[in-house]
Amino acid sequence: MDSSHLVYMANQIARNLAAGGDAAAVAATAQHITDFWDPRMKAAILAGDHEALDPIARAAVERLASVQRKI
């Protein structure tokens, strides 16, 4: 899957969850990616450039990356 499409999807998820506040939106975005994204999609977003991610989506992806490093 094209990484730009994954960035677009992560940003959409983050925007839809932003009304709950930043901390809740970051947690919910990370949880959504964990629950619903294919392992290849998760690997691609973690390995890709995070510059195009909105702040909430970037924080969610960074949270996932930190969990991944602990495993």
The region of weakest confidence among 1-5, 12-16, 25-29, 58-62 is 1-5
DSSP state, 10?
A: H
Across the range 52-70, mean pLDDT stands at 94
Domain ranges across the chain? 3-70
Residue type, 34: T
Nearest to 40, CA basis, from 4, 6, 13: 6
Across the range 34-56, mean pLDDT stands at 96
Q: Is the separation of the CB atoms in 26 and 56 below 8 Å?
A: yes
What pLDDT score does 39 carry?
95
